[in-house]
Amino acid sequence: MMGMVAGTQFAVSLISRVSSGSYSDARGGKRTVVGGADQGSIIGRQRGLAARFATMKQPASLGDETGYMGEDGYR
């Protein structure tokens, strides 16, 4: 699994190297670094929210474990 993660990161870095280099040349290094940090922060928040929602329990009004709600819409 770790090899797959490392390989994916390597492939993405090769693919994005050209576009990030031209972006940095056009707008400057500081702006590029700040933009990358902002995007990393946003992605981290989204992952945190996803983890929080993944551990939430399903309300009884949404059906049982199989997702089935009775014919009248109630359990």
**46 or 1: which leads in pLDDT:** 46
pTM: 0.52
For residues 62 and 68, give the distance between their C-alpha atoms in angstroms, rounded to a whole number. Answer: 8
C-beta separation of 75 from 60 below 8 A: yes
pLDDT in tens, 36-67: 899 999 999 999 999 888 877 765 555 555 55
Q: Tell me the three state secondary structure of residue 1.
A: coil
Average pLDDT over residues 20-48: 92
Taking the domains of the chain in order of start, what are their residue ranges?
Answer: 29-56
What pLDDT is attached to residue 30? 93
- Over pLDDT 70: what percentage of the chain? 75
Please state, in angstroms and as integers, the Cα–Cα distance from residue 22 to each residue in 25, 31, 62, 69, 74, following that order: 5, 13, 49, 54, 57
